[in-house]
């Protein structure tokens, strides 16, 4: 009996006993039906659950199988890799065996005389091949050939050069067999390197022969630049014009190449400035052209430009500054000049024109085109250029094209390449750029010069400026001093209360700089606690330091090129005596005395070598002491006097300050500058 039927029987019994039996029966049946349905439902659920469980189980089993497969696949892969490794090892063994066999074969072949002769080469070839097979040679093919082999002719040529002279070496390299062209080319180049200073033309000819074979040899590039740096133009230009690809590996290389060729072009056919067609009219507007912007650079040029702008503003003229791309803003604008406002100064920064300033025959017309457009658009009537030659030449060109008057403001004698060594004046590179300077002077409406010494130096170079002398302006900024900054500089130099004999100047190769070192022992005998501080940059800094070392003075000498970044007045304020010992024997490198003026402006006691340059500001025993240039004893005595007599130093400091204020102050300089604007305008109007 099922549970349901038993329930039914019990229900029937109770029905028989009661009155509502039918109703109860129906109720019970309904209940029975519900329960049955419930059982069916539960059974269905159970089946579903079982099915789900089965499905999950199947899924898990499938996954498990997949994983097993994957593991098996990995196993197979490992086995395959192992097999590959074994195969690679076997092959490596084979390679070894093969090479051992080949080595054996080579040795056997050496039984004959010819084989014996070839033995070393064949063994080397085998070694190279073996290393190559093992991947141990990753260097370029030409390097695998070995270096010494490629230089075999060089050694012989240099030996000949040392023992039998240049001609023998040149004959030897030219007669070398042509089957090793690159090796021959290298030998030609090395001989060219050995002879370029004595005979640049011969060196160029050898280099051209070498370059025909290998234009990208760095030694060729080095030779070309060495020649150019030495002041040669024709010889490096000959090499470059014969060999099209040399010096063109990078954009910088291309710029160097174009610069050299521009110098050559200037030698053959100097740049011609356009004729002046008309004069600009309208309200006066002054464009000041300088290579750097204001007021970030503590340099004479920037102060000079600032003074010109201030003078124009004072006279009620509108003015703005034009500069070239600087390194902070290498690409101003979008190929167009970019206008900026620095404090109250309007600055137009020229865009890069592709060619560097050294390629002046392209740079000048290109920049001039842009400048002329700006000048016309802004109604410029006067252009005043200070600083870098190519930019000044472009400004001159643009002034002529736009009808503005042009003033060339000369603050230093041109060195054209930054060299002041002997013989530089006679070299092609100097002559070439001096021609541009002379043309710019000729094309200018007027020149002003900031120092008589500079004027004389330029006359000695054969160019007559016909310039008006206007003293350099000494702005307030130069004479402002911060004691905190000065203390910090003293602390950086590791100095306490020592008396400081200071030099603030470019540290070039001028012998006068070491006159102070020669004077020092005598000074120290009189003033034991004193030191020398040189502040400035230049190629002579290291050799000056070494001279101090060899004289045993390094503990008493500080050479601080890095302090040149600090404000000049804070540096000069450090000095108990400011010394200007340079002899300046050559007309090159003579500049308006900005540093000397700055020293006087803060009232520093000044001792200077008696040069025309120094005499412009130092009146002996009035604003400072002058000593004969190169006389270290007199220099020592003057410094001792200055250090030992406080009253004298203070009095001279005061006089110097007064002189600078009177001659270099705005009241004197500004009217003179403004007069240059009006003079040109009057002339133009007439």
108-116, 273-281, 344-352, 560-568 -> range binding another protein (CB under 8 A): 560-568
**What mask of x and - would describe binding to another protein in positions 126 to 145, judged by CB under 8 A?**
----------xx-x---xxx
- Give the residue with the Cβ less far from another protein, 326 or 665: 326
Report if residue 490 touches another protein, rule: CB under 8 A. no
CB of 343 to another protein, least distance (A): 23
**Helix crossing, 218-229 with 234-242: angle to 10°?**
150
543 binds another protein (CB under 8 A): yes
CA distances from 463 to 275, 427, 440, 452, 466 (A): 21, 17, 11, 14, 9
Q: Which of 547, 615, 621, 681 binds another protein (CB under 8 A)?
A: 547
Three-class DSSP labels, 145-174: CCHHHHCHHHHHHHHHHHHHCHHHHHHHHH
- Distance (Å, whole) CA 236 – CA 196: 11
314 in contact with another protein (CB under 8 A): no
Structure tokens at 452: 């008589």
Residues 381-440 that bind another protein (CB under 8 A): 418-419
For residues 323 and 293, is the Cβ–Cβ distance under 8 A? Answer: yes
The answer to whether 197 contacts another protein (rule: CB under 8 A) is yes
Number of residues near another protein (by CB under 8 A)? 55
Q: CA–CA separation, 463 vs 458, rounded Å?
A: 6
CB of 216 to another protein, least distance (A): 11
* Cβ-based neighbour number of residue 70 at 10 Å: 10
Neighbours of 106 (CB within 10 A): 17
Give CA–CA dist 365/639, Å, rounded. 52
> Of the candidates 88, 252, 281, 622, which one interacts with another protein according to CB under 8 A?
252
Omega of the bond leading into 349 within 30 degrees of 0 (cis): no
Q: Of 154 and 399, which has the nearer Cβ to another protein?
A: 154
State in angstroms the smallest separation of the CB of 542 from another protein. Answer: 3
Cβ contact 519:632 at 8 Å: yes
Question: Using the rule CB under 8 A, which residue among 24, 32, 202, 226 binds another protein?
Answer: 226
Using the minimum distance from each CB to another protein, give the nearer residue, 40 or 249.
Answer: 249
Q: SS3 of 578, please? A: strand
The C-alpha atoms of residue 531 and residue 493 are separated, in whole angstroms, by 11
- Judged by CB, which is closer to another protein: 258, or 595? 258
Strand partners, 261: none
Angle at 329 between CA 328 and CA 334, to 5 degrees: 170
Residue 124 or 342: the one with the smaller Cβ distance to another protein is 124
**Using rule CB under 8 A, residue 338 touches another protein:** no
The least distance separating another protein from the CB of residue 218, rounded to whole angstroms, comes to 6
**Distance of alpha carbon 587 from alpha carbon 462, whole angstroms:** 11
Residue from the set 334, 552, 682, 685 that interacts with another protein by CB under 8 A: 552
Output the smallest distance, CB 131 to another protein, in A: 9
* Least distance to another protein, CB of residue 228, Å: 8
Report which of 504, 447, 514, 490 is spatially closest to residue 676, judged by C-alpha positions: 447
Q: Which residues pair with 474 in a beta bridge?
A: none
- 67-75, 265-273, 462-470, 531-539 -> range binding another protein (CB under 8 A): 531-539
State how far the Cα of 158 lies from the Cα of 80, in Å rounded to an integer: 59
Please identify, among the stretches 521-529, 559-567, 600-608, 637-645, the one whose residues bind another protein according to the rule CB under 8 A: 559-567
Of 245-253, 287-295, 455-463, 612-620, the window that binds another protein (rule: CB under 8 A) is 245-253
CB of 231 to another protein, least distance (A): 10
For residue 263, the minimal CB distance to another protein (Å) is 14
Query: Which residues of the shown chain bind another protein in the complex (CB under 8 A)?
Result: 124, 136-137, 139, 143-152, 154-155, 197, 218-219, 221-222, 225-226, 229-230, 250-253, 255-256, 327, 356, 418-419, 491-492, 537-539, 541-543, 545-550, 552, 554-555, 561-562, 565
């Amino acid at each position: 009996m099922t549970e349901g039927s038993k329930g039914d029987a019990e229900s029937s019994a109770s029905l028989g006993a009661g009155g509502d039996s039918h109703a109860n029966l129906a109720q019970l049946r309904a209940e029975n039906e519900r329960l049955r349905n419930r059982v069916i439902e539960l059974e269905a659920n159970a089946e579903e659950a079982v099915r789900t469980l089965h499905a999950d189980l199947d899924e898990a089993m499938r996954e498990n199988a997949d994983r097993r497969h994957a593991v098996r696949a990995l196993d197979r892969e490992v086995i395959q890799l192992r097999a590959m490794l074994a195969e690679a090892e076997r092959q490596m063994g084979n390679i070894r065996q093969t090479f051992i066999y080949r080595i054996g074969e080579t040795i056997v072949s050496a039984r004959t005389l010819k084989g014996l002769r070839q033995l070393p080469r064949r063994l080397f070839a085998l070694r190279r091949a073996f290393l190559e097979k093992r991947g141990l040679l990753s260097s370029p093919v030409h390097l695998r050939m070995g270096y010494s082999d490629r230089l075999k002719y060089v050694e012989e040529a240099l030996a000949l050069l040392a023992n039998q002279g240049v001609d023998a070496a040149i004959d030897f390299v030219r007669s070398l067999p042509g089957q090793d062209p690159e090796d021959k080319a290298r030998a030609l180049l090395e001989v060219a390197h050995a002879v370029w200073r004595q005979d640049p033309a011969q060196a160029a000819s050898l280099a051209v022969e070498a370059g025909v074979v290998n234009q990208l040899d760095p030694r060729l590039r080095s030779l070309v630049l060495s020649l150019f740096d030495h002041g040669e133009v024709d010889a490096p230009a000959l090499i470059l014009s014969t060999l099209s690809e040399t010096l063109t590996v990078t954009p910088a290389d291309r710029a160097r190449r174009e610069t050299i060729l521009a110098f050559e072009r200037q030698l053959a056919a100097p740049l011609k400035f356009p004729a002046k067609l008309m004069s600009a009219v309208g309200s006066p507007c002054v464009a000041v052209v300088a290579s750097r912007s204001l007021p970030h650079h503590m340099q004479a040029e920037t102060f000079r430009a600032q003074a010109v702008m201030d003078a124009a503003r004072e006279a009620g003229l509108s003015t703005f500054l034009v500069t070239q791309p600087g390194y902070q803003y290498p690409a101003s604008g979008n190929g167009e000049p970019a206008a900026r406002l620095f404090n109250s100064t309007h600055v137009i920064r020229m865009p890069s024109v592709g060619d560097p300033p050294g390629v002046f025959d392209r740079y000048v017309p290109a920049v001039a085109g842009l400048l002329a457009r700006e000048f016309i658009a802004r109604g410029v009537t006067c252009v005043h250029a200070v600083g870098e030659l190519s930019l000044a030449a472009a400004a001159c060109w643009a002034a002529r094209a736009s009808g503005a008057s042009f003033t060339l403001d000369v603050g230093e004698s041109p060195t054209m390449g930054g060299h002041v060594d002997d013989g530089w004046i006679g070299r092609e590179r100097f002559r070439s750029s001096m021609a541009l300077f002379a043309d710019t002077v000729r094309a200018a409406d007027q020149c002003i010069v900031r120092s008589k010494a500079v004027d004389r130096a330029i006359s000695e170079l054969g160019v007559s400026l016909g310039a008006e002398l206007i003293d350099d302006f000494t702005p307030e900024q130069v004479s402002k001093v911060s004691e905190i900054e000065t203390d910090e500089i003293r602390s950086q130099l590791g100095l306490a209360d020592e008396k400081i004999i200071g030099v603030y100047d470019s540290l070039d190769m001028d012998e006068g700089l070491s006159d102070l070192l020669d004077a020092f022992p005598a000074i120290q005998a009189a003033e034991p606690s004193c030191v020398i501080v040189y502040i400035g940059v230049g190629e002579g800094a290291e050799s000056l330091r070494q001279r101090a070392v060899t004289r045993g003075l390094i503990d008493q000498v500080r050479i601080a090129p890095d302090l040149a970044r600090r404000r000049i007045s804070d540096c000069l304020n450090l000095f108990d005596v400011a010394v200007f010992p340079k002899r300046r024997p050559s007309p090159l490198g003579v500049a308006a005395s900005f540093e000397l003026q700055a020293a006087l402006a803060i009232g520093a006691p000044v001792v200077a070598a008696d040069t025309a340059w120094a005499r412009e500001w130092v009146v002996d025993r009035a604003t400072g002491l002058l000593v004969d240039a190169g006389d270290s004893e007199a220099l020592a005595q003057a410094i001792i006097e200055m250090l030992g007599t406080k009253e004298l130093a203070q009095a001279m400091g005061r006089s110097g300050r007064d002189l600078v204020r009177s001659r270099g102050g705005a009241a004197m300089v500004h009217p003179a500058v403004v007069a240059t604007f009006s003079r040109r305008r009057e002339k133009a109007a007439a």
